[in-house]
Copies of this chain bind each other. A is one copy, B any other.
Amino acid sequence: MIEDKNQQRTELSDLGEFRLIDHLTKNFEIKLKSTIKGIGDDAAVLDFNQNKIVVTTDLLVEGVHFDLSYMPLKHLGYKAVVVNLSDVYAMNANASQITVSIAVSNRFPLEALEELYAGIETASKIYNIDVVGGDTTSSTTGLLISITAIGEVENNHVVYRNGAKPNDLLVVSGDLGGAYMGLQVLEREKEVYKVNPNNQPDLEPYSYIVERQLKPEARKDVVKLLKDLGVRPTAMIDVSDGLSSEIMHLCKQSHVGCDLYENKLPLDPQVISTCEEFNIDSTTVALNGGEDYELLFTISQDDFPKIKANPNLSVIGYIKEKEAGMYLVTRAETRIELKAQGWKNFND
Measured CB to CB, the residues of A under 8 A from B are 12-13, 15-18, 20, 36-37, 40-50, 52-65, 86-88, 90-91, 93, 97, 99, 101-103, 106, 132-142, 144, 146, 148-151, 153, 158, 160-162, 236-238, 253, 340, 343-348
Contact = CB atoms under 8 A, between A and B. Distances in A.
Nearest to A138: B345
Given A42-B237, A44-B56, A61 B146 contact: no
Contact of A43 (B12, B48, B151): B151
Contacts of A253: 40-41
**Can you list the 6 inter-chain pairs with the closest CB atoms, starting with the nearest?**
A43-B56, A146-B146, A42-B90, A43-B54, A148-B148, A42-B87
Contact of A36 (B12, B52, B102, B149): B52
A43 B218 CA distance: 15
A286 to B, nearest CB: 20
B52 A45 contact: yes
Nearest to A155: B47
A102 B59 CA distance: 8
How many copies of this chain are found per oligomer? 2
Nearest to A100: B57
A50 B63 CA distance: 43
B137 A345 contact: yes
Contacts of A102: 59
Contacts of A160: 37, 41
A37 B217 CA distance: 26
A102 B58 CA distance: 10
B64 A140 contact: yes
B345 A61 contact: no
A134 B54 CA distance: 13
Given A20-B346, A57-B148, A138-B348, 20 more contacts: A13-B347, A17-B346, A36-B52, A36-B158, A40-B253, A41-B160, A41-B253, A43-B54, A43-B55, A43-B87, A45-B52, A45-B54, A45-B158, A46-B53, A47-B52, A55-B97, A60-B137, A62-B140, A65-B137, A99-B148
A115 B59 CA distance: 21
B16 A344 contact: yes
A187 to B, nearest CB: 18
Contacts of A43: 54-56, 87-88, 90-91, 93, 149, 151
B101 A57 contact: yes
Given A93-B43, A101-B146, A135 B57 contact: yes
Nearest to A153: B45
A137 B93 CA distance: 26
B53 A99 contact: no
Nearest to A51: B47
Contact of A59 (B20, B42, B101, B141): B101
A144 B139 contact: yes
Given A13-B346, A46-B55, A52-B45, A140 B142 contact: yes
Contacts of A142: 140
Contact of A50 (B50, B64, B87, B237): B50
